[in-house]
Each structure stands twice: as C-alpha cells, then as structure tokens.
A and B are shown apart, each in its own frame.
Chain A
C-alpha cells in the first residue's frame, strides 16, 4: 500500500474518532509546548551566558594585594608590605603591550551634591582602560579621555541604572530605592557642576545601562559593586586621597587585566606576579583572582538549570507518548475486525503495522503542529511582555519539536502495531 493511501486512511480514522484523537493530540501538544519552551529557555539562557561572558571577557583576572583584614593572626604584622600603585599598572602595560586591557581601579567615597540634593556615594577612580571591559552602556555626552587622566581633570561620568522592563514581583515587596539613581533619573545632570567630597566636578557623560533584563551583567553576576560615579584615577588619588583606610598610602585598589583568552591566564598570572614583585622587591602580598574559575562555577549552575528544564520537557513528551501508546492500543482492540478484514483480502503483517504506525505518526505530527502554534503564540506573548532576550525562538526549534512529536508517535505505536500485526486473521475476522 502506498504511503499516500495510508495517510488518507489514517486521516479518515483520526477524524472518525474525534474524542480519542483529540486526547492524543492534546497530550502531544502539551509535550511539544514544553519541548519548545525548554528549547527556547535553554537557548536563551545559553545565549545570555555567552553574551555575559563576552562582555566580561574570558581572559579576565583581577590583581590586588591582600588586605590587612584578610590576614591571619599568625602573620608578622611588622613585615613590610607594599600596595599596588598606578605606576605598577603602567609598567604592566609597558611590559605586556599585547594585553587587551590593564585597568587600574581605585575607590573612595564622598558626598555627591547638586542643588539641595545630597547623597553619599562610592566613587571609582579609573583610566580609559575601564572602557575595555564589560561595556554595555549607551553614552550621553562623553566618556573620560586620556587628557582627563593626564591633567587630573575634575570631571566625572555617572552610570544611570537601566531599571526593569517589568519589575519582578519580589522587587515590589522590596521597597528600597536608590535616592541617587532616582535623582539622576528625573534630573538631567549632564554638563552640570556637582560637588563630590570637597571639590566641584563637571558631569561630562552619562552612561546609560541597558534595562536589567537585557543587561548581560545581570545574568552572570561577576562584577564587584564599584559605585556609579567614575572620575579619573589621577584626580581621585590627588583630591580624594584614595583609600578605605586599609590600603597603603598612595596605593590603588586593584588592576584588572584581560589576557584575551582563558588559556593564557595562568601564563600571564605568573609573568605579571614576577614583574610586580620585581618592582616592589618582593614585598607585595598578591591576591590574583581568576575570573575563569568563577565563570566555571557560574556556568555549572546555569547548566544544571538547563538540564532541569530539559528533563521536564522530556517528561511531558514522554507522557504524550504514553498517551499515544494507550490510544493506539485501544484503537487496535476496537479495530480487530477491521484488521481481520484487511488481512483476509491480502494485507501482510507489515501492511497492518505500517498502517497503525503511520496513523500514530500522523497524529504526532498534527499534535506537534498544534503544539508549535500554541507555544509560538505563548513565547511571542512572553517576549512582548518585556522578557525579549529571555525568549529567543530559533527557526530550528519548531522543526526539532515536530520531529520529536512524530518520533514519539512512531515509538509509541511500535508495540501496539506489532500486537495488531500478530493477530490471527481467522480469529480477527470472527471477532465482533
């Protein structure tokens, strides 16, 4: 029998047993919906993780010295210890010009003031290198330039929070508001003169963060909290004195280094330590943080989430498959006479098997199509509700889902179809 004829017969049967078909159809649709959802979720999670990694950089490390509060009591407090300096960063840059980024960082705090508004804020001292890592911003005005650094310019750049497209429920219960962010959100401070500690600065740029849902940094939380006001590191050193108290005088907080590739991190780690210790006569107590390790841990977490989602999807389609198997078995018992008739007029066992398998596959296909339409609608709906980047539908996902549905139909029908083909024609004909 030709496949087209089997398909025609299958369609006839499917339409004749409307309720039975609907139930199978329904089970498969649910399976496909969950598979589509799982695939989209996994893909989106993966995509966002990759994006976050790209932004953070695979070859990142952070060089800093151990703080006195981190030291154990057994350490000799009198031992001379040096802090990292801005010159160390310059030396690294000079020694390893191939490094994509050597970004020294320094922090301080001070009262931010404009008009009547006063708010204490953390201030980060940076160089132009800062721009090379984790750049997700849209700039209004300009970023700090080398001239600002060289001339100890009293300029600052402010990072404006992206906020949420759609505030998560927990945020509504958690009523904390950032006064500083609220202020800059509602007042344009670009070009204005503001006070920061004891000095006046000009706001030369606003860095607008993307909305939190779209911000890769939100997804893979790797950055330390650095504050939202950026000034040239030289200015900070000169005017705000740097230091949180524990750092050595004149020292900076840390040097962020990007080696470009994860593989080169250990090599550069050794080389950098060597250069720095040579500069300080071995008096540095270096603490180098390899982001690769952190990323690995974070990725493992993400992967576990993805597997969970996938397993749920697989269970749903398995349930659909069991539904198909059940329905096909029931179908066979209600069609024993028909099987007998078909066998009597010359159908082989293979013909009978093929017939039931094709019917189940057709049912799987139709259920799959319905599932795809429903889930595409659902995913579009979710996406339109703001979680755009969380829901990325790819062209191959419906394809994979339909194949999964048809395959489920095929596998689920194998056993019942085999049972049907084994029926004795004489017995089957006698069956009423």
Chain B
C-alpha cells in the first residue's frame, strides 16, 4: 500500500544550512497492517507521518501510495487524497470547538460535497460506533479527553478511508481512556483498515503488528 524509496525531507532554516528531517528513508507497509512508529523526539516520526498522510511533500525520493507516485502531487490533488484516502487522529484532537461533535464528524463529508441529510445520518452512525450516542450535540469543550478523541476517530472515519494515521493518539489521555482508544484502533484494524500510529509509549506500540524504530531521520535496524 505504501512504499517509500530514499525518502528525504529538508526544512530550509536560515541559521543552519537546512535541517534534514528524513535522510533517505526506506519503508514499505502493506494493506491491513497495524504499524507503530517509535523513536526519540526529533527523529522525524511526525514528518514521515505528514508525508504519508499527504500533508507534506518530500524533498527527495519517491512515495508510492497504492502504486501511484504521489511525491510530486499538487496541493489540490493531495487535498483530494487527504479527503478520501486517509483519516487523521491527532494527539490534541484538533476538533473545531465551535462545532458540535456531530458537525465535526460531518465536516469531511461536506468537503466531499455530500448532501446534508446523508452526512447527518452517517455521522450519527459513526458517533454511535465510537460509543458517543447521545453526545452528538455536545461541543468538544463539553466532552472529556477520551470522548474528544473518539469524536476525532469518528471524524477520521467519515469518508471511509483506507488508511488511518494516528499521531500520539493517547498522548493527552489518562491510561484508562488511552487503552480504550487503543482498543478502538485495534478493532478498526481488525475490520481491515490499515493503521499507522506514531507513539512514544512502548506499551502501546506493543499492541501493533509491527514496530518501526526511527532515529535521526532514518529507520533503525
């Protein structure tokens, strides 16, 4: 599903002569895998996740997504892939605070141009699935951390993606709710979704089917 060949990412920094976040990274992930990416801060985990999730373009090398080289896709092409192919789960949830839980989940569907009535019933179903029935009209500010992350998961699933990307999904949660969210991700993986998760926590990483350790912009070992 995902193939990275000699992937490089350099950030232009004025003081340094460019900061190289990824240094010729090689990676291959099959459909249906649950991959945990670990490593110390600044090793390039998030950069890699951003590139895999089409938020960023690599500076060099090739990124093949389902056989297509997407490394040189335009901004709007990448937007389209983000919309329909991947779902993002963030450490800080990144929900829109002025929207209700339901509206947060509906948002990606609306960007896809679906009609309002459809999105409402589907968003309701997704919220029910992540265990938030009855909280549809709550604002994220009225929800607990665990509940917010569930809204985040429901939103990530809005457009039936093939790939779920989670950046420290339990980083802001207590251990009990963290475990609940992990169970949810594991469940989704079992249902066929490819999951890539960035984490510091080796316990959580242990739940994945494969662990990738990164160091200094490359994969260790």
Contact = CB atoms under 8 A, between A and B. Distances in A.
B76 A349 contact: yes
Given A347-B111, A426-B50, A16 B75 contact: no
Contacts of A16: 98
Given A1-B110, A346-B83, A13 B55 contact: no
B82 interface: yes
Q: Using C-beta atoms within 8 Å of the partner chain, give the interface range for chain B.
A: 20 to 34
B116 A345 contact: no
B76 A348 contact: yes
Contacts of A348: 75-76, 79-80, 111
Interface in B66-103: 75-76, 79-80, 82-84, 88, 90, 94-96, 98-99
A343 interface: yes
A378 interface: no
Contacts of A350: 76
Nearest to B82: A346
Interface in A341-362: 341-351
Contact of A2 (B53, B107, B110, B155): B110
Contacts of B80: 346, 348
Contact of B83 (A5, A345, A425): A345
Nearest to B159: A346
B221 interface: no
A2 B111 CA distance: 8
Given A344-B88, A346-B84, A348-B76, A12 B98 contact: yes
Nearest to A343: B79
B153 to A, nearest CB: 13
B42 to A, nearest CB: 14
Nearest to B87: A345
A73 interface: no
Contacts of B27: none
Interface in B33-85: 50, 53, 55-56, 75-76, 79-80, 82-84
A305 interface: no
B55 A4 contact: no
Interface string A402-420: 0000000000000000000
B116 A5 contact: yes
Given A12-B98, A426-B50, A429-B94, A346 B111 contact: yes
A13 B98 contact: yes
A347 B111 CA distance: 6
A338 interface: yes
Nearest to B79: A348
Contacts of B95: 341
Given A4-B116, A5-B110, A345 B55 contact: no
Interface string B107-122: 1101111011000000
A345 B111 contact: yes
Contacts of B159: 346
Contact of B155 (A345, A351, A425, A429): A345
A21 to B, nearest CB: 13
Contacts of B110: 1-2, 5
A12 B97 CA distance: 11
B56 A342 contact: no
Contact of A426 (B55, B99, B115): B55
A16 B141 CA distance: 14
Nearest to B114: A2
Given A338-B96, A341-B94, A350-B76, A426 B88 contact: no
Contacts of B98: 12-13, 16
B18 to A, nearest CB: 17
Contacts of A351: 79, 111
A347 B79 contact: yes
Most buried by A among B76, B99, B107, B113: B107
Given A13-B98, A426-B50, A345 B76 contact: no
A16 B107 CA distance: 19
Contacts of B88: 344-345
Contacts of A340: 94
A346 B82 CA distance: 5
Interface string A318-345: 0000000000000000000110111111
A341 B96 contact: yes
Nearest to B165: A344
Nearest to B94: A341
A227 to B, nearest CB: 76
Contacts of B99: 12
B50 A345 contact: no
Given A1-B113, A425-B55, A426-B56, A342 B107 contact: yes
Contacts of A5: 110, 116
B77 to A, nearest CB: 10
Nearest to A422: B75
A432 to B, nearest CB: 9
Contacts of A344: 53, 55, 82, 88, 90, 94
A337 B92 CA distance: 11
Nearest to B47: A426
A350 B74 CA distance: 13
Contacts of A426: 50, 55-56
A-B CB proximity, top 10 nearest:
A346-B83, A348-B79, A346-B82, A345-B108, A341-B94, A348-B76, A5-B110, A346-B111, A1-B110, A425-B55
Interface of A: 1-2, 4-5, 12-13, 16, 337-338, 340-351, 425-426, 429
12 contacts: A2-B110, A4-B116, A12-B99, A342-B96, A343-B55, A344-B90, A346-B79, A347-B79, A348-B75, A348-B80, A349-B76, A350-B76
Given A343-B79, A345-B158, 19 more contacts: A337-B94, A341-B94, A342-B96, A343-B82, A344-B55, A344-B82, A344-B88, A344-B90, A345-B83, A345-B111, A345-B155, A346-B80, A346-B83, A347-B79, A347-B83, A349-B79, A350-B76, A351-B79, A429-B55
